[in-house]
């Protein structure tokens, strides 16, 4: 039997990699390859036989396409895959790109949400969110938000942002918070120069507190990521 083609994973900065998704993909028998747009790797014109798309986070805004033209290319491919029924998963910037690709507005929020904040399940009977705690601690690092695309089902919200995750049909899942995060990734982000510059502009955010809270809550979030992302990845595919 020939191995299946790998899913395409769009990465916008090196430290925002797939994290907890790696073992979940492996358990589902899904191969993947990074498309590192931050290194100048081009977004393909079509799926190139790939059975799925994952779009990771990044520091840029969806509305900065003049500076980062690959954002429009990603939206085109997201729309193409979604309309064809192929699975599309987006996290943080990836979720915002999905929202934009499906016709929703993406814009700066009222304030940055950086660190550990509670998330509320808004669709407890939905298959992707079933059996999750009604409220749990999740890791956030964003300042933008989005409206829901037409026909989307909201799955999660937070006190600061009403839209923290949604699905469109069974093949499109967008998560604003970092469901893929691990404790090691938090350390990696806090040490990154770009992240440090952003933290310097958010004096209310204390890295020491983030590290303490990571030790407390990262393990539980990893368990939840296995449930939510595992359910999505096990969906029947074309």
Are 103 and 142 within 8 A, CB to CB? no
> Collapsing DSSP states into helix, strand and coil, what is residue 25?
helix
Helix (H) / strand (E) element for 157: namely: strand 153-158
Q: Mind telling me the catalytic residues?
A: 92, 178, 180
Task: Give the separation between CA 154 and CA 179, rounded to whole angstroms.
Answer: 16
Are 119 and 111 within 8 A, CB to CB? no
One DSSP character per residue, 41-102 reads: PPPPSS-TT-S-EEE---SS-TT-TTT-THHHHHHHHHHHHHHTT--EEEETHHHHHHHHHT
What b/e readout covers 172-196, taking b as 16+ CB neighbours within 10 angstroms? bbbbbbbbbbbbebbebbeebeebe
Q: Which tokens sit at 15?
A: 């430290």
HSE, CB side, 13 Å, CA atoms: give it for residue 173. Answer: 25
Helix (H) / strand (E) element for 12: namely: none
The CA–CA distances, whole Å, from 119 to 76, 136, 144, 196 equal: 30, 5, 16, 25
Supply angle C-alpha 53, 56, 60, rounded to 5: 125
């Amino acid at each position: 039997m020939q191995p299946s083609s790998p899913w395409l994973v769009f990465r916008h900065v090196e430290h925002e990699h797939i994290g907890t998704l790696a073992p979940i993909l492996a358990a589902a028998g899904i191969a993947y390859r990074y498309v590192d747009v931050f290194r100048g790797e081009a977004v393909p014109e079509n799926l190139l036989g790939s059975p799925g798309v994952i779009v990771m986070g990044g520091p840029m805004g969806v509305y900065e396409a003049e500076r980062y033209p690959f954002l429009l290319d990603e939206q085109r491919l997201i729309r193409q895959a979604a309309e064809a029924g192929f699975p599309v998963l987006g996290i943080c910037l990836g979720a915002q790109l999905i929202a934009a690709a499906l016709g929703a507005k993406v814009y700066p929020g009222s304030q940055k949400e950086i660190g550990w904040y509670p998330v509320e399940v808004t669709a407890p009977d939905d298959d992707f969110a079933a059996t999750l705690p009604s409220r749990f601690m999740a890791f956030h690092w964003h300042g933008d938000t989005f409206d829901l695309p037409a026909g989307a089902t909201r799955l999660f919200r937070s006190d600061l942002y009403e839209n923290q995750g949604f699905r469109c049909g069974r093949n499109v899942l967008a998560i604003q918070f970092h469901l893929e995060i691990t404790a090691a990734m938090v350390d990696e982000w806090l040490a990154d120069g770009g992240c440090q510059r952003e933290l310097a502009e958010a004096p209310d955010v204390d890295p020491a507190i983030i590290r303490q809270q990571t030790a407390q809550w990262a393990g539980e979030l990893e368990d939840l990521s296995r449930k939510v992302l595992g359910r999505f990845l096990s969906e029947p595919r074309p």
